[in-house]
Structure 1
Amino acid sequence: MDRFLIIGERIHCISPVIRQAIADRNPAPILQRAKEQLDAGAVYLDLNIGPAERDGEEVMAWAVQLLQNEFDNVPICLDTANKKAIEAGIRVYNRSKGKPIINSADAGPRLGLLEVAAANDAMAIALCAKDGIPSDVEERITYCTEMLEKAMMLGIDPMDLLFDPLFLVIKGMQEKAPEVLETIRQITEMGLRTNAGLSNVSNGAPKHVRPIIDATYCAMAMQCGLTAAIVNPCDHRLMETIKTCDMIKGNMLYADSYLEL
């Protein structure tokens, strides 16, 4: 089996440092965060430029080339609701190390991003949502099925889709956590792959417990079949948990040094 796919989350315009670096076209902070994540075990880098309505195409193309030129064509997750920016990023993308991932389509207003994925032989994260937060497992599976049918009509390989059941914050929405795990289990039974925005789970919790919540919930989700997540790979507890789950699930061979692999 394939090892868990780790997508580094830390190049995100919500960070003042990254937002300013993008505005100034200053490579240093972006490259520093990229290196930290790759050194910590990230396979893909999520490149979140936000809505970028004014200059999204230029920003995405610049950032994709910056990262791939510096880090040997590192594969990238193109994270924006701006369709033209995603297309601009794909045009300059070198896929020698992996297809680009579009982050993200959904069953509602972003359904058209599946067409972008199909036209460019890209992978896509598919949020199991349409308008707001799904009410239960059944609604999530309904949206999953709708997007799967649309993707297959477009000729997309189902293995190029990462279905995201929409991880929700524990603080204030604790009752939803088991629903998300059950959704992952059912999607896995359909033979499909899943992804999570893991840090959403612990948002708002005290800083000292966030790594505990993230690592524990990730382990539970991996047991249900979760195959990928957008995470902070510099969280050592989380990375040790992911590697240990991979080893126990047989996704990697045991060695005394498995945490170093």
Structure 2
Amino acid sequence: MASKRKPATKTAIAFIAADTDEARSARQRLAKRYGDVATDDAEVIVALGGDGFMLQTLHTFMNTGKPIYGMNCGSVGFLMNEFKATGLRSRIAAAETTAVRPLAMEATDDRGRTHRAFAINEVSLLRQSFQAAKLRISIDGKVRMDELICDGVLVATPAGSTAYNLSAHGPILPIYAPLLAITPISAFRPRTWRGALIPQTAKIRIDVREAEKRPVNAVADNVEFKSVRKVTIRQQDDSQSLMLFDPDHSWDERILAEQFRY
């Protein structure tokens, strides 16, 4: 006697939306079409919004094992797939998974307090006043630049290399490149320094010189700490967030396309 074929199970999807009319409307339409479960019960999270909302979602579901499939309902969508209401389950089934590991930032402020935060895109040190910042950069305990006079400096992951890092004329990194980019922001001295590529295993320390006269803030993605004196940055190897991309619009393809824009 032939056995009966079991019906195919459907992937449980949770839809979440940015706080915009476009994203909320899209969520209602998609939930009606595909069903909608609580995020705790979901196998896949579909994030509707722009890159900022995607970044927030990646932080929220870090280390849960839940992949995030983003669809663009915002003004910027480098981290997002194209929005289409049809064929979503097939797109999710065919999507390629990209794992991104965050940077762990530890910052000590002018009161001696220690602050910690994760960054999926970048950690930035930015001048707080009209005075340029003076920074000392050490890699794995060795001073590599004793004094950088600038508006700031950032350390970017491959995932963040196309964001603020690119706007500051930093290099674009393939998503699986074992590298981090250190990029100055409006460097005054040395004026010709354009930054550095370092191994992802490196530990970076940035000390703020003349901190009382030249106060500096530290930012890990969207978390900011005021008046820092010292910041250490390293990749957090035991943490990750998962992104899903359509095969014809994969991360590697986006990186190549971005480098040949003119």
Decide: shared fold, TM above 0.5. Answer: no
When normalised by structure 1's length, the TM-score is 0.26
Normalized per residue, which structure has more helix?
A: 1
Name the structure with the higher strand share.
2
Decide which structure has the larger Cα Rg and report it: 2
TM-score, normalised relative to structure 2: 0.26
Q: Which has the higher contact order (CA 8 A, sep 6+)?
A: 2
